[in-house]
């Protein structure tokens, strides 16, 4: 099953994707948020769709596609988690997962566009498989970790490399700008995706930049869930983004950073595809 959200920014409604049709379930569920996942809302949603799909309202094709989940309590990201990416950056293979946080205000829809931070000249792309947690998770062992997964989605972990690397402190500075966490187009429930062999790809202005499988992950999905849960309680709806494969702009010669007008397209097997047009910073400081 594929969960979607649609409508204006800040007023998205929940739906499901069946074939090419989006069905509106907002009369039955308020949102795909912590409360929804905590009560196993996916099972309720599946029962509704099985019984009522023919009678559920259809969503107009022109409706905006939002992130498939409401803003989570946290977005936990994993750095240097593909062998190829670690090698291209000259970093040693990590002995333990590298964790950093991304501000939840960076979350946006999969087609909303990417706004460069004010003065940015080093914004990079990073297509990733992200995991959405479906239950309270703390000290879960690896062998039971996948039972805590609500589903999987696409995430692009956009990064301002100067802010990430050259301004001191943690990576979060370069990871958290508005629009730096597009998610979707849908949340795929676990039976839709093989997290051990999901192909991810990314094209910049039509040129293939990233193309790899999660089989190249250093730490796989259940290992990551178990590891992160050692350090914090994961709440229903929280996101773990599992890292990006080789091919990022920073590692190229010369580096290839994003500029206004660039078009970033990316996707994954079982995850659909997303597209952002890059624009310069447009708003005043607030």
pLDDT tens per residue, range 171-229? 889 999 999 999 999 999 999 999 999 999 999 999 999 999 999 999 999 999 999 99
249 or 85, higher pLDDT: 249
Cα–Cα distance for residue pair 270/286, rounded to 1 Å: 39
Q: Is residue 222 a part of any domain in this protein? A: yes
Quick one: what percent of the chain has pLDDT higher than 70?
98
The verdict on 23 and 148 lying in the same domain is no
pTM comes to 0.96
pLDDT tens per residue, range 80-132? 899 888 788 787 889 999 999 999 999 999 999 999 999 999 999 999 999 99
Domain range for 208:
75-279
- Judged against a pLDDT cut of 90, whether residue 134 lies above it is answered with yes
Task: Tell me what pLDDT residue 43 has.
Answer: 97
Q: Give residue 260's pLDDT band: very low, low, confident or very high (50, 70, 90).
A: very high
Cα–Cα distance for residue pair 81/156, rounded to 1 Å: 15
The verdict on 106 and 51 lying in the same domain is no
Q: Is residue 286 a part of any domain in this protein? A: no
Q: Domain count of the chain?
A: 2
Burial status of residue 65 (CB atoms within 10 A of its CB: 0-12, 13-18, 19 or more): buried
- Judged against a pLDDT cut of 80, whether residue 254 lies above it is answered with yes
Q: Is residue 158 a part of any domain in this protein? A: yes
- Judged against a pLDDT cut of 70, whether residue 285 lies above it is answered with no
The backbone torsions φ and ψ at residue 183, rounded to the nearest 5 degrees and listed phi first, read -130, 145
- Judged against a pLDDT cut of 90, whether residue 169 lies above it is answered with no
């Amino acid at each position: 099953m594929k969960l979607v959200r649609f409508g204006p920014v800040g007023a998205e409604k929940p739906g499901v994707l069946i074939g090419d049709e989006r069905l509106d379930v907002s009369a039955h569920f308020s949102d795909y948020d912590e409360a929804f996942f905590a009560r196993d809302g996916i099972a309720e949603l599946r029962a509704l769709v099985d019984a009522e799909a023919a009678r559920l309202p259809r969503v107009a094709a022109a409706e905006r596609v939002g992130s498939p989940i409401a803003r989570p309590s946290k977005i936990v990201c994993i750095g240097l988690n593909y062998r190829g990416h670690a090698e291209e950056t000259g970093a040693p293979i990590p002995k333990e997962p590298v964790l950093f946080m991304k501000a939840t205000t960076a979350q946006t829809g999969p087609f909303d566009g990417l706004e460069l931070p004010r003065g940015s000249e080093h914004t990079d792309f990073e297509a990733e498989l992200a995991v959405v947690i479906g239950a309270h998770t703390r000290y879960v062992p690896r062998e039971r970790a996948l039972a805590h997964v609500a589903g999987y989605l696409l995430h692009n972990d956009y990064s301002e490399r100067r802010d990430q690397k050259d301004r001191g402190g943690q990576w979060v500075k370069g990871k958290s700008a508005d629009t730096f966490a597009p998610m979707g187009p849908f949340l795929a429930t676990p039976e839709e995706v093989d997290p051990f062999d999901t192909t991810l790809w990314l094209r910049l202005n039509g040129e293939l930049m990233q193309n790899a499988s999660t089989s190249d992950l250093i730490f796989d999905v259940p290992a990551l869930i178990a590891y992160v849960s050692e350090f914090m309680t994961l709440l229903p709806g929280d996101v773990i983004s599992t890292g990006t494969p080789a091919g990022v702009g920073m590692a190229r010669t010369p580096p290839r950073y994003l500029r206004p007008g660039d078009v970033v397209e990316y996707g994954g097997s079982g995850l659909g595809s997303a597209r952002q047009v890059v624009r310069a910073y447009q708003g005043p400081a607030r």
